[in-house]
Amino acid sequence: MSEYKMYCKKCKNIKLSRYCDVCKKDTVTKHELICCDKISLQDSVSGKQKRPSLSGFLRKFFFGYQSSNDKKYSKGVTRNMDIDKKSDWYDETVIDNNTQEIIRDCHEPLSQHQGRGSAKFKK
């Protein structure tokens, strides 16, 4: 996006041509061109807490932006997930970045969390 303006160098008012309507004469013109652009950034953080004596992880988390292949969520989603095996608790909230609508809100014991992700294929 750009914007172009001309100013009178004497009275510093905006003028539309070489002639200044305020000074009532042909004055020196100061030209100003403003160019601006918009950039948006998204970030996220994830991690695992492990203990050497146990296999797998003790706690896993993900907070922030996540892209989506679904056309419905073209700007991606904000996902806040916390899996705590020690406390047997699962928290997940997924928010659409376009409409700020909550898509998924799940807070339950980890032992009861089934039928999602890799768990839905177990027999």
**What's the pLDDT tens digit per position in 12-49?**
888 888 888 888 888 888 888 888 888 888 899 999 99
Asked if the model's pLDDT at residue 122 lies above 70, the reply is: no
CB 81 within 8 A of CB 92: yes
Global pTM value: 0.61
CB 73 within 8 A of CB 96: yes
The residue extents of the domains of the chain are: 2-35, 44-121
CB 90 within 8 A of CB 110: yes
**What's the pLDDT tens digit per position in 41-77?**
889 999 999 988 878 889 999 999 999 888 898 889 9
CB 79 within 8 A of CB 96: no
